[in-house]
Amino acid sequence: MNVDDFLEELEGVIGSQYVLRDAKDTAPYLTDWRGIYQGVAIAVVLPKHTAQVASIVQICRKYKIAIIPQGGNTSLTGSATPETTGAQIVLSLKRMNAIRNIDLQNQTMTLEAGCILQVAQEEASKHQVFFPLSLAAQGSCTIGGNLATNAGGTNVLRFGNARDLCLGLEVVTPQGEILHGLRGLRKDNTGYDLRNLFIGSEGTLGIITAAVMKLFAAPTKKSSALVAVSDFSDMLRLLQFLQKRANAELTAFEMMTRESIELTLQHFPQFDIPLVHQASFTILIELFEYQEDSSETATSMLESLLEEAMQQELLEDAVIANSLAQVKDFWQIREHITLAQAKEPENLKFDISFALSKLERFMTETGQMLEDACPGIRIINFGHLGDGNLHYNLCAPKDASKGYIASQGERIQEIVYAQIDKYEGSISAEHGIGQLKREHLKAHRGDVAYEMMLAIKQALDPENLFNPNKVLIPKQL
């Protein structure tokens, strides 16, 4: 293979200024958000149109060069980072960021893959509608990346994850063909569901170039509260109580343990938790209100429901945000947990989910097992409790010497993964597999499912050109 010929052909399609080769230009694309993986690439290419993506794929097929699709590069599993072989390209969708269409009658929005999530949210609100996908990385992550990872976030409880919000995709296949599917249909039972195959496939089956996403009525008001709860089962009872009784919609029920809040306040002392009683768990609750002139507002409803919950001894203390600024402050604390943990030199992340009825047993038992095995280990446990999704993250004990997590990591993972199996949970609730968890996927997903996934990969990408060795460990393809 002649690299110069290859690059010349790429430049012929998108222009030399969009084929990055200089180390200082390519650096941000070659490492992951957590700084765990460092890859190498022949070039980083930045197409502007779907037809250019198709041409790039055809050129890569001709020269047998693998492609790593990349959006905002916020993956927490190293899924958008190339390997170290230096024989791959990164295809960044950043420049494909147009909002192609807003169809208010159909309540949909057609976005190019590189559109930043926050831009999509803002565009929706300019049209007095609401786009619910919401996560702390929304200022950088893209719609294409959100779909390729089937991102979750903080509104899944009411609106579902990225998959549930998508009505159609435009995809470039590993053969360099364009699959057109942007009709925005809510019903379409015409054979196998190809859209859902690409969603969550982490760039291993196709390159998403555009998507039709659902829009919703914009809430007239949001009301948020921080609630202190000392007992896990009370937290679940509170969730059920609110789901049953809130006429306004319960959109978020986010859990933060005492340890996650302490770590966040330690690294970001500008924040404050305005609760008198600090309990084992703090919950961030959000209700959406839709009626302009209702006598009972979301805030008054939340107030009376939380009072009633307190009388039933489901909670210790609660504070309802009294301004938009305070709503933001509450969310800032929740969203800074990841950033606080990133400041700790050594940590391990588990993004896991369980049936709600099994969560408490998992937590009590696993916490004890980890303490027995690694005394003083810090469990930074938080997450989207309403979805049964824990970010069960660990930090080295305070007094641990350097290299603690590296030396204990395997043992810790053995304990946690065995417990996930015991309680029939998922090893990846919302962040995907990437390269971080591919061995665990093979070990925990079951042979039948795993073989089917290999067969799908083989059928759609027989030359293993799209994000090879991510998600799956290929048999000798």
Residue 358 vs residues 365, 390, 396: alpha-carbon distances, Å: 11, 12, 26
Residue-by-residue DSSP string for 205-221: S-EEEEEEEE-EEPPSE
Nearer to ligand 2HG, 41 or 156 (CB): 156
Query: What angle in degrees, to the nearest 10, is found between the helix axes of 404-422 and 356-373?
Result: 150
In this complex, which beta carbon is closest to ligand FAD, that of residue 70 or of residue 223? 70
- On whether the CB atoms of residues 7 and 50 are closer than 8 A, the answer is no
Q: Does 378 bind ligand 2HG (CB under 6 A)?
A: no
| Ramachandran region, residue 202 (left: φ > 0; alpha: ψ -120 to 50; beta: rest) | left
Q: Of ligand 2HG, ligand FAD, none, which one does residue 393 interact with (CB within 5 to 8 Å by kind)?
A: ligand 2HG
Among the listed residues 195, 336, 349, 444, the single contact to ligand 2HG using CB under 6 A: 349
User: Which residues neighbour 64 within 8 Å (Cβ) at sequence distance 6 or greater?
Assistant: 1, 463, 465
Residue 434 CA to residue 470 CA, distance in Å, equals: 5
Q: Which is nearer to ligand 2HG, 56 or 263 (CB)?
A: 263
Range list of H helices, 80-134: 117-126
Comparison of 13 and 226: residue with beta carbon closer to ligand 2HG: 226
The answer to the question of residue 390 lying near ligand 2HG (CB under 6 A) is: no
- Number of other residues whose CB lies within 10 A of the CB of residue 377: 20
Residue 205 binds what, of ligand FAD, ligand 2HG, none (CB under 5 to 8 Å, by partner type)? Answer: none
Whether 346 and 406 have beta carbons less than 8 Å apart is answered as yes
Q: Which of ligand 2HG, ligand FAD, none sits in contact with 75, Cβ below 5 to 8 A by type?
A: ligand FAD
Report the partner that residue 81 touches, choosing among ligand 2HG, ligand FAD, none (CB closer than 5 to 8 A by kind). none
Nearer to ligand 2HG, 412 or 453 (CB): 412
Minimum CB distance to ligand FAD, residue 76 (Å): 5
Q: How far apart are CA 55 and CA 73, in angstroms?
A: 23
Taking CA 135 as the corner, what is the angle to CA 134 and CA 141, rounded to the nearest 5 degrees? 100
* Of the candidate residues 41, 42, 115, 151, the single one contacting ligand FAD (CB under 6 A): 151
**Which listed option, ligand 2HG, ligand FAD, none, makes contact with residue 113 (CB within 5 to 8 Å by class)?**
ligand FAD
Decide: is 299 part of the binding site for ligand FAD (CB under 6 A): no
When CB distances are held under 5 to 8 angstroms depending on the partner's kind, the choice from ligand 2HG, ligand FAD, none that residue 284 binds is: none
Binding site for ligand FAD (CB under 6 A): 33, 68-76, 79-80, 93, 113, 135-137, 141-142, 144-146, 148-149, 151-153, 202-203, 207-208, 338, 430-431, 467, 470
